[in-house]
A = this chain, B = another copy of it.
């Protein structure tokens, strides 16, 4: 298997006897375990999966080609025992996933440690055909749920009711969970990029921002649409929409294999700035998506990533004017050998409901 052979190379490269994997998305990626508590120790000869009593039966079904150990002591004590049993003198660990507290406890147990950065993340950055297929299904589920939601989007219904309804529809489409609480933000509230749905009812002429995602076999999707409720709305809102749409198209055009992520971000950002809304677009243009809803590549002005064949990420510029309202449009894209495929299929033009 590609994944484990690459990790074994890391074992030699980093001069360790084993690698501890505690990031639960990485645990799932490498072992197939879908539960919420477990870790891996990968040595040259033997990959070990450790969980507790609660996941005993599930682990037997899901985790193939790993030795399964059920423990009833806490992480550090368990690692100490395993290190002694399997003669692990120097253990690599995921620096982003082990807390300073756990690190100190492991040191106290006389285990030699080596911090690893981006080991599994670098593998997850490039999606396999199977992973891409899961993400596509997660997108399809999210889109189908939203299509079914449309007839409920009307004057008088609250943000909260729409959010509950959409979450129910996502579950009905087969999503085992949702990547994040659905965002529904109407009128002035659309100026809050991460608004929690409230009991505010939709009014004629409101712009309503929906941000939601689907799931399939642990892989997520993420998308945003801003729709308008029939009625009289301000010319400015339509202008914002067309600026954001234009900005998104520029970023989509920029997202080619070999392009620096910071340049993809700039394609959207510079256009929005040129229209006079620089300070109203404060978040990054996108983020990788897969087993986590936010993962590498980072598509922002600070990013050091470069778009490569096999990457999957969002493109989601927005403009948010406090006291007025906002617009965001978000799609998921896949970088192919010779260009880009937009995986989201729902139309991007302004929909009036």
Residues of A that sit less than 8 Å from B by CB: 34-36, 52-58, 70, 72-74, 93, 95-101, 103-104, 115, 117, 160, 163-164, 167-168, 171-172, 176-177, 181, 191-196, 282-283, 302, 322
Contact = CB atoms under 8 A, between A and B. Distances in A.
B95 A104 contact: yes
Contacts of A55: 192-194
Number of chain copies forming the complex: 2
Given A55-B194, A73-B302, A194-B58, A104 B99 contact: no
A176 B181 contact: yes
B101 A99 contact: no
A303 to B, nearest CB: 11
Contacts of A53: 193, 282-283
A56 B96 contact: no
A292 to B, nearest CB: 14
B195 A58 contact: yes
Given A168-B164, A172-B164, A192-B57, A100 B73 contact: no
A7 to B, nearest CB: 19
A34 B101 CA distance: 26
B36 A194 contact: yes
A310 to B, nearest CB: 25
Contact of A177 (B70, B117, B181): B181
A116 to B, nearest CB: 10
Contacts of A58: 192, 194-196
A101 B100 CA distance: 9
A180 to B, nearest CB: 8
Contacts of A95: 99-101, 104
Contact of A194 (B54, B104, B160, B167): B54
Given A58-B194, A96-B101, 7 more contacts: A34-B196, A52-B282, A74-B302, A93-B100, A104-B115, A164-B171, A167-B167
